[in-house]
Structure 1
C-alpha cells in the first residue's frame, strides 16, 4: 500500500499541463496508427495476384508477432504476475499461428498444419491458468481498470461481433443491390481484422508495461 501511495503522490505532483498534452499525443498517435494500417488499400490493383490481400494478412501477422514479442519481453520483469504474461503470450502466439494459416492456406494456397500447434499453445495456457488461479483471478478482477484491456476487448468485439455483420455478403448485397461484388465483403473483413490486430498490439503494449512495472491495475 505504501508503494501505491508513492505512485499516487507522483501522479498528483505531475503538472496538469503536461498530463493533458501527453494524453492528446497518445490519442493522436493511436488515431494516426489506425489510419496508417489502411495504406495497403492504395496499393496498385493487379488482377490474378493477391498482392493487396496478402499484404493485409502479413500486416496482421506482423502486429500479432510484435504483440507476442512484447508480452514475452515482459516475462522477466513481471514478478509474481509472470503467469499472466505467459498466458497472454501463449494466446497471442496461437492467434499468430491462426493468422499465418490464413495467409499460407488462403493466399498462397499452401497447406499449413496449424490445428495441432494452436492446440498445444492453448493447452499450455489452460494449464498455466489452472496452476496460478489466484493470480489470474486477481488480474481479471483489475484488468478492466486498464486501457490496454479495453483495446483488446474492442478488438474482440470487432472480430467476433461487428465483423460478422460487415463481413457478411448478405449485408453488402442488401446495401449495394446490383452494384454488389463478391470481393467487397472479403476486403472489408480483412481490413477490420487488421484494425483489430492493431488494437490488440496497442493493448498488449499497455498491459506489458503495467505488468513489467509490477504496478497494480486498480
Structure 2
C-alpha cells in the first residue's frame, strides 16, 4: 500500500474497511437466511445479533467521534438484549435448531472465527507480549497491525461460515419446497 500512508493502519485504513465490509455482508446473508429462506430462525437471530453487535463495535471510533463517547455500547445493548430475550423465551425452539446447526461445518467455522477474533487476536495483540518480543525496538504499530490482521482472519472465517450456512439453508429450503 503506497497510497494514503497516514491512514494505512488507522480506523480509515483498508483492514478496518474490509472488516466492516465482511461483517455487513454476514449480516445481509443472515437476514436472507432467516427472513427469506426461513431456516433456523432462532439460531440465525442469535448469530445475526452477534455479528451485528461486532459490526457496531467495529464502528466505535466513528460513533464516539460523530455521536458521543461509548454510543456503541448503547447500540449493541439495543441489538443484543432483545435478541437474547427472544432466544430465551423460545429456548426449546433454539435448542431444537441448535442441535442440527451444531453438527454442521458452518458451526465449526463460526466457532473458529469467534475464537480467532475474540480470544486469539486479543492475546496475540497484548502489549506485554510485543514488548517482550521486540524489547527496546517495540513500536505500537507492529502490535496493532498484527492484532488487526488476526482479527481480519477471524472475521473472514465467520464470513466463510455464513456462506456455508447459506448453502446449507438453500438445500434445506429446496428440500422443504419439494413435495
Q: Normalised by the shorter chain, which TM-score bucket?
A: 0.7 to 0.9
Counterpart of 2:30? 71
Counterpart of 1:44? 2
- 1:131, CA displacement in angstroms? 2.8
Unaligned 5+ residue runs, structure 1? Answer: 1-42
| Residues 1:70 and 1:61: Cα distance change in structure 2 (over 3 Å) | same
Unaligned 5+ residue runs, structure 2? Answer: none
TM-score normalised to structure 1 length: 0.69
| Residues 1:161 and 1:93: Cα distance change in structure 2 (over 3 Å) | closer
What do residues 91-122 of structure 1 show as CA deviations (whole Å, max 9, x unaligned)? 221111111114x268xx54452122111110
Counterpart of 1:137? 95
Rg comparison, structure with higher value: 1
- Work out whether 1:118 is the aligned partner of 2:88: no
- Work out whether 1:185 is the aligned partner of 2:143: yes
Q: Is the 8 A contact 1:85 1:208 kept in 2?
A: no
**Cα RMSD (Å) of the superposition?**
2.3
Counterpart of 2:59? 100
Question: SS of the counterpart of 1:114?
Answer: helix
Q: Is the 8 A contact 1:60 1:197 kept in 2?
A: yes
Residue number among 90, 94, 117 corresponding to 1:159 in the alignment? 117
